[in-house]
Structure 1
């Protein structure tokens, strides 16, 4: 595989790799380093990658494994979501502040979820990957992915309802 074919194959997934690494490592610099390291490893394995049915899922799996290894090395179990798809579309400042507060609260809830639920939420709801891809990346069955996602969403929904009904944060 030449450089052009390699870049054509992996450039589209590089942003997903970064956001996933950022989700796991909570640091922009660490996430950038992780993507760079994984891309280097992919380049070194470029001849073997031709045989894979889904090279992008393989790249995401490598990103996950690299990040988890980094977390184990640093004993850093804090995970944060820093990615948001919110765009200001001419809303008033009060509405923007309200949305920001809501996103911050959802991030706090997600930080309290078990690691596996956080990863499934990140890959499905933020990265919008298919269940089959998530199953490959996390080495779980699609049924287990659906159950994990359901439990994570339920926990977030329950916590949001507490705040909206009772004002408990």
Structure 2
């Protein structure tokens, strides 16, 4: 992949990646850094990108992995500075947890198709047409599954917050 093609295919993903990174972290500077890291990684593998079936998914997966690595690094840093490890899990104490972490836990417990469709639409930013192609479902079933997933997430979130 040459520079022009990279600029045409990859660089337009930057805004979506940045929006996603900003939802995962309050540190906007770090979100910028994470997206820049994604761009560098994609650039370094530009020779293999032409053969990749879904570059958008690769970019979002790379961002997710960078964010996960950063989170792990922060956890290790917290352990080393405090001298002890404090494990907090949303499942045992949701009121102490982060709302986003609670929502992630709820999404994981959805039926597989609803979870997949919700993640693709709301987290990874796929269009309806892309989701239909990937999952093979109809437009109507996509809307129904997405609606059901949102209702379940909302209801479970309210239930867990009221405890």
Q: TM-score, normalised by structure 2?
A: 0.57
Q: Which residue does the alignment assign to 2:107?
A: 117
Instruction: Kindly indicate whether the alpha-carbon contact (under 8 Å) linking 2:6 and 2:46 is maintained by their aligned counterparts in 1.
Output: yes
Q: 2:21·2:34 contact (CA, 8 Å) conserved in 1?
A: yes
Residue of structure 2 equivalent to 1:55: 55
1:36 positional shift: 0.3
* Structure 1 residue 8 displacement after superposition: 0.4
Distance in 1 (alpha carbons) for counterparts of 2:42 and 2:61: 11
CA RMSD of aligned residues (A): 3.9
Gaps of 5+ in 2: 79-97, 109-114, 136-144
CA distance in 1, matches of 2:3, 2:25: 29
In the alignment of these two chains, the number of paired residues is 123
User: Any gaps of 5 or more consecutive residues in structure 1?
Assistant: 77-107, 136-145
Measure the CA separation in 1 of the matches of 2:3 and 2:20: 24
Q: Per the alignment, do residues 158 and 64 of structure 1 end up closer, same or farther by CA in structure 2, a change over 3 Å counting?
A: closer
TM-score (norm. length: structure 1): 0.55
Conserved? CA contact 2:38–2:62, under 8 Å: yes
The aligned residue for residue 155 of structure 1 is 153
1:6 and 1:39 map into 2 onto residues whose CA distance is 10
Q: Which structure's relative contact order is higher, taking Cα pairs within 8 Å and 6+ residues apart?
A: 1
